[in-house]
Structure 1
Amino acid sequence: MQIITSHTNADFDALASMLAAKKLYPEAKLVFPGSQEKSMRDFFLESAFYAVDLERLRNINVEDVTMLIIVDNRNPARLGKLGEALGRPGVTVHVYDHHPAANNDVKGEFEKVEEVGATTTLMVELLRQKGVPVTPMEATIYALGIYEETGSLTFVSTTERDALAAAYLIAQGANLNILSDFLSRELTTEQISILNDLLRSAKQYDINGVNVVIAAMATPHYVPDLAVLAHKMRDMESLDALFLVVQMEDKTQIIGRCRIPQVNAGMVLEQMGGGGHPSAASASVKEMTYLQAREQLIDVLKRHIRPGKIARDVMTSPVKTIPAGSTIQQAGAAMTRFSVNVLPVMDVNRVQGFITREVVQKSLFHGLGRQKAEEFMTTGISTCSPDSPMSRVEQIMLEERQRFIPVLDNDGELVGAITRTDLLRSLHEGKLAELPEPGGAGMHAGRNVAGAMVERLPRPVRDVLGVVGEIADEAGFPVYLVGGIVRDLMLRAANLDIDIVVEGDGIVFAGMLVKKLGGRMRAHQKFGTAVVTLPDGLKLDIATARLEFYDSPAALPTVELSSIKKDLYRRDFTINTLAVRLNRSSFGELIDFFGGLRDVKERIIRVLHNLSFVEDPTRVFRALRFEQRFDFRLSKHTQNLVKTAVKMRLFTRLSGARIYAELMLMFSEAEPGSLLKRLSDNDLLKFIHPSARYTSEVELLYDHIDEALTWYRLLYLDITVEIWFVYFLAFLDRLKDPAAEDALERLSAPPRIRRRIRKARAAYRAVLYDFYRDPDMPPSSVYDRLQPLDIETILLMMAKARKDSAKKNISLYLTHLRTVRVSLTGDDLKTLGIPPGPKYKKILSRLKDAKLDGMVETPDDEIAFVRKLAEA
């Protein structure tokens, strides 16, 4: 027997998902595992949908269940009696859900679990994919599920997919009047009375610095639609975290509604046997009074809510300083080098004061560059400790008007600093967290992305990252996942280039990782980095948090140890500045200092500062590469900075090897032709060679290469192609030989590549000429011309070939001629009585040509052919 079910206290999302699942599993029976919300019961009473074939739970023998299809739920505790079927031999489980993952989730042989606002959205998408028709009444039910679960598409968990599913249902005839009737009902007199009692019983609790309101009461009769009252109360009082605890009849119902990242209602109520989303969850407990339930809830909240932020959580560390005795001129140089606006002045290990950029600039204007910085520094400053509450930090900065706060340990030594930017980011982190994720919800600055990591990273990678966090805790190092893997996590794109940054000694940390997991490491002491290769081949790049400064435009950077914030600031674009904490206490917390998540959402490439391209002009090539790869666009300001870099001819200062490396990466992208056009649009080709152009002929050649590569892939041959080399050959194709040599010289191309290109250019021109001159060339001659060439040259020839006869020759070679072999060997010739000697080579060559040309086929044919040659 197949059963479709959901969760106790079922809502419209559960009902709609069950009904949609019935269309995918027509033999299954619909069974609610327990009670339903009053709004849904009213719907059954008032609508024509009472005729739905629902089976009563009491009529189901769990032992007869062979398949359990669970929708809108993975919590076994919410399956009621049907949960007994889990784990039984012969029972298959299919799961469709949208709730965040939990430790005790039901595991199914098939699972469709994705981050959308409603499970009904997933089901509607499946129906559309399979071409299953939807009636107007069904569309109405499905729309009720989506609209109720997403707050009529207004909850932060709502995604674009929910809106598209709703639009599709409206197009299928969903009745909006019915939706309005059941989703916008006024409170009854009884509900108003209960709401009044809840408001009177509400108490505010300060739990680890977070205000949580709990309303607890008992009522002798059942209270319907308690969730509706929770919404009303939260909105009336503008509450960030609200829990209702109501004892009724034989159970106590708990409803949670939260809109701050510090309180995850789903995780909290999961500890009490329930579950749900971070913003909305519920639980039902038996044999417990409302007072007992409230106390247990408070205990759970105390364990769940991390203490409020302290100075240690927001400070920047380590801090760049200058020693006492430094001049104003030296202070200014340090500020420019390290991109800071304030520098503490140190006497040994003690802070004497600090000097600001404004003071330095004015002092320099007045010709005081050789004066000591301490003569103009701010003294008598207030400090705080790492454990100081944020209220103390705010008091110093706002009331004492001190823009920079040194953080001192118990010994009075400087361990960090808090700036106005640090404070503003801390105060507004909650607002930053409300930015929606591209293509979905739930991954924001100040929010935890551990769930997304579970969904999108392979299990071995997640396990290794967990160990990284454990080792970091043991060593006392803050540790972060950074770079492209975090960016692509937000984009839902595959990327297993694991970059780890350690606020500590990265090489020491890498050694600890190898000791724990095995494998090997290769360290680079100069940069404080190491590459760890684990026994299974997985590689991790480990780096010490560092900053870079450039002594001159386009020079290679000088590196110094720094903080994670400075480490991220040295990166090329905001989309690459995202980081994820890996320490166990904050595993999965997203770090976004520079608005990277916003730019990912808006699909923008943006530099971090105005001198970015001056410091490293190769970033222009990377900007265009990312623009094409992700279908992003350069911000207007970034585009203007590209024009400035071109105007200043900064690319002439780059070594050829650096430009060559960027070109190889560009030619390895999915659409090199589009990238080449962008180089041309931005007037960059002239820095490779003055004669380099992107013309209609070049565009056509690149299109033909794309076609040739697609054709080749469909052959499923066993020859790997260096795709970048095909496009690189095409790039040089329009240049005359001297110009091509000049370009290779400018790019400092490796000697091996130069030799290979010279050979390819000469070969494909000569061979194509021969193919054009002799369209009926025998297969053996085709083989002789193509066999010495590499596959990249042959594919470029296929793209360049203008005549069908030439294309047929190339196709024949790749699909047939290249694998033709003769069965006879020199030993066979000796057996046939042919005296050994140089003629063996000539005979076997003639035999090979005959087989290529179809003159011989079988081994007997070969023997006869050889004997005839020997007799001649």
Structure 2
Amino acid sequence: MLCIIPAMDIITTHIGADFDSLAAMVAAKKLYPRAELVFPGSQEKCVRDYLAQEFRNIYEFKKIKHIDLSRVQRLIVVDTRQAERIGGLAECLTNPHLTVHLYDHHPDGPGDLRGSVEEVRRLGSTTTLFVRLFQERGIVPSRDEATLMALGIYEDTGSFLHSSTCPEDLSAAAWLLSQGANLDVVTQFVSRELSAEQIGLIGRLQQEAHSYVIRGVTVVISTLTEADYINDFAVIVQRLMVMENIDVLFALISMGERTYLIARSRIPEVNVGTVAREFGGGGHAAAASATIRDLTLAEAEEQLVGLLHRHIRPKAVAGELMSAPVIAVTPDVSIDQANRLMTRYNVTVLPVVRTNNGQENGPQPTGLLGMISRMVAEKAIFHQLGSLPVADYMTTEIATLPESGTLADIQRLIVENRQRLIPVVRGEQIVGVITRTDLLGLLVNDPANLSPELLREDERPSVERTRNLGSIMAQVLPREITVLLREIGETAAVLGCNAYVAGGFVRDLLLHVRNTDIDIVIEGDGIRFAKTLAEQRHGVVHPHEKFGTATVIFPDQSRVDVATARLEYYEHPAALPTVEHSSIKLDLYRRDFTINAMAIHLNPERFGTLVDYFNCQNDLKERRIQVLHNLSFVEDPTRIFRAIRFEGRLDFTITRHAEKLIKNTVQMNLFEKVEEPRFFHELKLILSEDDPIPALRRMAQFKLFPFLWPDLRPNLKVDRRFLHTLTQANQAISWFKLLYLPDRVETWMVYLLAIMSRSRTKELISFCHRFDLPPKQRKKLIQQKTDAERIAQEMQKRPFLKPSETYWLLGELDIEGLLYLMTIARKRYIQQAVSLYVTTLRKVVPLVGGDELKTMGYIPGPQFRAIHNHLIEMQLDGEITSHDQALAFIRSTHPILPRRP
């Protein structure tokens, strides 16, 4: 039996990748959608900045350390043909049966790689080569992809000034522009050599630059006076903006008798086109200019500042950023009770209100009186004042914000007023709260708010936390799924609630993996929404009132799970969660791991907008399994099994911190407190993976086997026989799947039987009882183990079985039992016999059917079965090979019995 190793395709380029390399890799991904993108080494700084700040269309770039190089069977190399330039990936070149595909625009050189596919042309850039392939094959890039490909062409041709530029490069750039390429981004990142005079002008602009904070938005205005007209002044302004990482820049330059305005903006709050039109100029939101007459430089600057005060409209973020519902207490609640509430909900401050609805659906907490912090509560309890009401020690000077509050308002209250929590109010009602952590998360997740020096390269936020994923959804999801998600959002809007798709669906979408398992979260009444959706789509709804969840099943049997946004807390370690209605933010915070704590807004006005409160994208980018809080495994130890499963399935790594938390939880022996079926469900999912062996190794490392199988306790590092049995099971299952037979197989059963292969049947029975397996599964497991092991012993003693003997012997087993028999077989002839039975023998049917026997005068009943069995036996052993032989055999051996009167 062959060991099946999953093959892998890799797209790579040279060390020190530039924009042409990056663009060619992304273009190649359109031709090889299943291939992994792997950088062989570092990239140029401008490329790193681009990936961190601009590239909205996430492609997952892996590092060499994440790749098993022995699995690589196709290597796609772009922008080079030199083996020494692909770094450690050159190891793949020795793999047996490796195929190499090459795409390059460089001239031939000594030692060039050879490939089974070679697309090599002397062009200005490799990206131009891919544009030609796209045009030939009718491939249409997204706007982001077109922009990146234009970047690659502009950079490698020196904006078409290098002597290597070809007519095809200009044609390719023109085609990319027709596909929506953004030249503003190209201008921002493509460097252009500056003259000494231009460098001097940049220095003077820097010296004359002044920052203004207008409605919370920082705007830079720089003024300059020159006797003569300066060409390409816009290029100088753009270069200053990039060099200083300025979001909004207005440059006023007096040249001769006129004053010129050059304006650039990278944020939606400032539309420079609107401002330029006030001066008689024009442009669009990001870039504009104007010629100013009849104003001195000082007068123009003064008027500009006034216009900015009029036109800057900072985005209201309080209503979007706040957490809801509000957890609050009334003034008569004791400090002890308040402290317990803060621990339960994992908050550090509680508003004290006049009336409180206690987390039920109904009016919001009303009438803010003050706030009590955990620090004050704990000190009061230390001084034995816990029985006193919170009113005695609450802070009473509290500032609030309306839902229309801006980022500047939030910063002012939290930073300047040193207020750790801001209540967001609507009249007297408190509709939400904003914390210092919320503000910090908002700032850190937007790279424009931080100096690049404050972040190491591996800590830099990879993308915006609220970017739109519409283009990725269009690429990855089937059209009917996108239509369904849009309808869900429209239905939610009509019902006055917010709808999100959350969890693994979002994770897989960002990994460009298709996942049609849709989990919808509703801020509002989830069951009411589910009933409305089911009615619209003629489906059936199964509500679960206790948890505020429902399942909607559509006529085509597809399904959607709907949940009301909820907060879960645990009364004690390993308890089942207590559920309360909540917001999407708190709903995501209760998730198991950061990579599963993202959502996508589905309401029409924000359809496709990513919701990422905890910078989860960075963990996804760095391929990390990380928990959201340190007591996660204590509250739900089954998450340990999920962490192990995700690590194996996604080829991610559990972080050292999470490993430590897992070990602490195992030492606490919390498993006995968890309902056993929950553990078995997670174990079943692990054993259902394509290759659960790495996960089983991890379980052994974390010492989980003594809990699952107290009588077994294998150490997979040293117990070669145990590991060999698991490997045999994996090979048997892989072999069966490659047959593409219609038979359904429960692979988890095969692995479980393999694990229990050295245990007695009574220990398997004990396992089934302990984890409360359904009676049907319990019976099947026990029967397959007993029968397969008995048959293995019998076949060991009888190595030369006739085909008919094999047929009758193995006919007692289900597919799971047959694969388990292949797993434990010590002799190759047993595996071959099982293989022959599965592929050939069990499909044999009698050459003479029942209708023909009736015609011959035989009476249906036991005689039919005896004739068929006898006939199959003779056919299997090769003694009967034709229909005529079968008829003669029946007539000679089975006389027709007289009919009963």
Q: State TM-score, norm by structure 1.
A: 0.72
Counterpart position of 1:654:
674
SS where residue 710 of structure 2 aligns? coil
User: 1:474-532: per-residue Cα shift (whole Å, max 9, x none)?
Assistant: 33323322111112222222322222222211122223333444423221111111222
- Bigger drift between 764-773 and 125-134 goes to 125-134
Say which of 770, 773, 777 aligns to 2:801. Answer: 777
Q: Structure 1 residues 666 and 261, CA, compared in 2 at 3 Å: closer, same or farther?
A: farther
Q: Match for 1:755: what amino acid?
A: K
Q: Distance in 2 between matches of 1:835 and 1:518?
A: 51
Distance 1:243 1:459, change over 3 A: farther
In structure 2, relative to structure 1, the CA distance for the partners of 1:282 and 1:17 (3 Å cut) is: farther
Distance, in Å, in 2 between the alignment partners of 1:819 and 1:837 is 23
Residue type of the partner of 2:676?
Answer: G
Q: Is the 8 A contact 2:787 2:812 kept in 1?
A: no
Deviations 1:792-844 (A, max 9, x none): 11011122222222122111111111111113245533543557774443222
Question: Is 1:407–1:418's contact at 8 Å kept on the other side of the alignment?
Answer: yes
The higher-RCO structure (CA 8 Å, 6+ apart) is 2
From 307, 322, 327, give the equivalent of 1:320: 327
CA 1:324–1:442: 2 relative to 1, 3 Å: closer
Which residues of 2 match residues 141-290 of structure 1 at below 5 A?
Answer: 141-142=124-125, 186-187=193-194, 228-229=235-236, 231-235=238-242, 238-241=245-248
TM-score (norm 2): 0.69
- Structure 2 counterpart of 1:772, one-letter code: Q
User: CA 1:144 to 1:124, structure 2 compared with 1: closer, same or farther past 3 Å?
Assistant: closer
**Distance change (3 Å), C-alpha of 1:692 and 1:843:** same
Quick one: distance in 2 between partners of 1:290 and 1:460? Answer: 51
738 and 328 in structure 1: CA distance in 2 versus 1, 3 angstrom threshold: same
Q: 1:625 to 1:863 in 2, by over 3 A?
A: same
* Alignment partner, residue 77 of structure 1: none
1:339 aligns with 2:346: yes
The answer to whether structure 1 residue 385 and structure 2 residue 380 are counterparts is: no
2:711 and 2:60 map into 1 onto residues whose CA distance is 51
Structure 1 counterpart of 2:132 = none
What letter is aligned with 1:817? L
1:717 to 741, 746, 768: 741
2:758 corresponds, among 699, 724, 734, to 734
**Within-5 A mapping of 1:827-846:** 827-833=851-857, 838-846=862-870
For 2:503 and 2:682, the matched residues in 1 are separated by 18
Matched, 1:374 2:394: no
Candidates 107, 110, 124, aligned match of 1:136: 107
The one-letter code of the counterpart of 2:341 is: A
Letter in 1 for 2:713: R
- Measured in 1, the distance between the counterparts of 2:794 and 2:211 equals 89
Measured at CA, do residues 190 and 516 of structure 1 come closer, stay the same or move farther in structure 2, by a change above 3 Å? farther
Question: Residues 582, 200 of structure 1: CA spacing in aligned structure 2 closer, same or farther, 3 A cutoff?
Answer: farther
Moved more, 629-638 or 193-202: 193-202
Match of 2:779 in 1: 755
Distance 2:610 2:677 in 1: 36
Distance 2:213 2:557 in 1: 49
Cα distance between partner residues in 2 of 1:573 and 1:664: 20
Residue 849 of structure 1, CA deviation: 0.8
**Residue type at the aligned position of 1:682:** F
Decide whether the 8 Å contact of 2:626 with 2:658 is kept in 1: yes
Alpha-carbon distance between aligned partners in 1 of 2:210 and 2:705, rounded to the nearest angstrom:
69
Q: Call closer, same or farther: CA 1:255–1:736 in 2, change over 3 Å.
A: farther
Residue 519 (structure 1) aligns with? 539
Instruction: Give the C-alpha shift of residue 724 in structure 1.
Output: 1.4
Offset at residue 764 of structure 1 (A): 0.7
* Alpha-carbon contact 2:591-2:597 (below 8 Å) kept: yes
How far residue 868 of structure 1 moved from its aligned partner, in angstroms, is: 1.7
Matches within 5 A, 1:107-122: none
Residue 836 of structure 2 aligns to a residue in which SS? helix
**Pairing 1:175-574 to 2, within 5 Å after superposition:** 186-187=193-194, 228-229=235-236, 231-235=238-242, 238-241=245-248, 307-348=314-355, 349-410=366-427, 412-431=428-447, 443-574=463-594
Deviations along 1:183-240, whole A, 9 cap, x unmatched? 86643589789989999999999999756789999xxxx9997885454242366421
* 1:797 paired to 2:821: yes
Q: CA deviation at 1:448?
A: 2.7
- Judged with a 3 Å threshold, the aligned counterparts in structure 2 of structure 1 residues 336 and 211 are, in CA distance, closer, same or farther, namely closer
Amino acid at match of 1:335: M
- CA apart distance, 1:685: 0.8
Return 5+ residue gaps in structure 2 as ranges: 1-17, 32-53, 62-75, 83-98, 109-120, 130-143, 157-161, 166-188, 254-260, 274-282, 293-307, 356-365, 897-901
Instruction: Give the distance between the partners of 1:836 and 1:139, measured in 2 at CA.
Output: 80
Distance 1:124 1:213 in 2: 40
- 2-structure distance, mates of 1:449, 1:207: 31
Equivalent-residue separation in structure 2 for 1:255 and 1:484 (angstroms): 46
| Contact map agreement 1:100 1:451 (CA 8 A) in 2 | no
Name the amino acid aligned to 1:355. Answer: I
Structure 1 pair 464/870, CA: closer, same or farther in 2 (3 Å)? closer
Going from structure 1 to structure 2, the CA distance change for 1:783 and 1:443 (only over 3 Å counts) comes to farther
CA displacement at 1:355 relative to structure 2: 0.8
- Aligned equivalents of 1:444, 1:396: Cα separation in 2: 25
Q: How big is the shift at 1:385?
A: 1.7
User: Which amino acid in 1 is paired with 2:391?
Assistant: E
Distance 2:704 2:633 in 1: 13
Query: Counterpart of 2:652 in structure 1: which amino acid?
Result: F
Residue deviations 1:371-408 (CA, integer Å, cap 9, x gap): 11111111132222222333333333233322222222
Out of 850, 859, 870, the position equivalent to 2:874 is 850
Query: CA 1:596 to 1:264, structure 2 compared with 1: closer, same or farther past 3 Å?
Result: farther
Judging changes above 3 Å, is the alpha-carbon distance between structure 1 residues 227 and 745 closer, same or farther for their aligned structure 2 residues? farther
C-alpha change, 1:424 and 1:709, in structure 2 (3 Å) is: same
How many equivalent residue pairs? 720
Amino acid at match of 2:494: E
Amino acid at match of 1:420: R
Contact 2:543 2:549 in 1 (8 A): yes
> Could you say which residue in structure 1 is the equivalent of 2:892?
868
Q: CA-to-partner distance for each residue in 1:334-380, whole Å, 9 max, x for gaps?
A: 11111111111222221221111111111111112221111111113
1:137-181 CA distances to partner (integer Å, 9 max, x unpaired)? 8678327989xxxxxxxxxx999x99xx99xx9xxxxx9999xxx
- Give the conservation status (yes or no) of the 8 Å contact 1:311–1:390: yes
- Relative to structure 1, the CA distance from residue 833 to residue 603 in structure 2 (aligned partners, 3 Å threshold; closer, same or farther) is closer
Residue 608 of structure 1: aligned partner: 628
Distance of 1:115 and 1:649 partners within structure 2: 38
The 1-side partners of 2:803 and 2:55 are apart by 63
Distance 2:378 2:22 in 1: 67
Task: Quote the residue 1:58 is aligned against.
Answer: none
Give the distance between the partners of 1:511 and 1:437, measured in 2 at CA.
48
User: 1:734 offset after TM fit, Å?
Assistant: 1.8
Query: Residues 242, 796 of structure 1: CA spacing in aligned structure 2 closer, same or farther, 3 A cutoff?
Result: farther
Instruction: Supply the distance in 1 between the matched residues of 2:645 and 2:55 (Cα, whole angstroms).
Output: 36
CA RMSD of aligned residues (A): 5.0
Tell me the CA shift for residue 791 of structure 1.
Answer: 0.6
CA distance in structure 2 between the partners assigned to 1:360 and 1:15 by the alignment = 58
Q: Which residue number corresponds to residue 73 of structure 1?
A: none
Query: Which whole-Å CA distance do the structure 2 matches of 1:705 and 1:255 have between them?
Result: 70
The percentage of aligned residue pairs carrying the same residue is 39
Deviation at 1:417, TM superposition (A): 1.4
- Provide closer, same or farther for how the CA distance between residues 818 and 585 of structure 1 changes in structure 2, counting only shifts above 3 A: same
1:675 paired residue number? 695
Name the CA distance, whole Å, in 1 between partners of 2:793 and 2:313: 75
Question: d(CA) in 1 for partners of 2:575 and 2:21?
Answer: 64
Q: Which segment drifts farther, 853-862 or 305-314?
A: 305-314
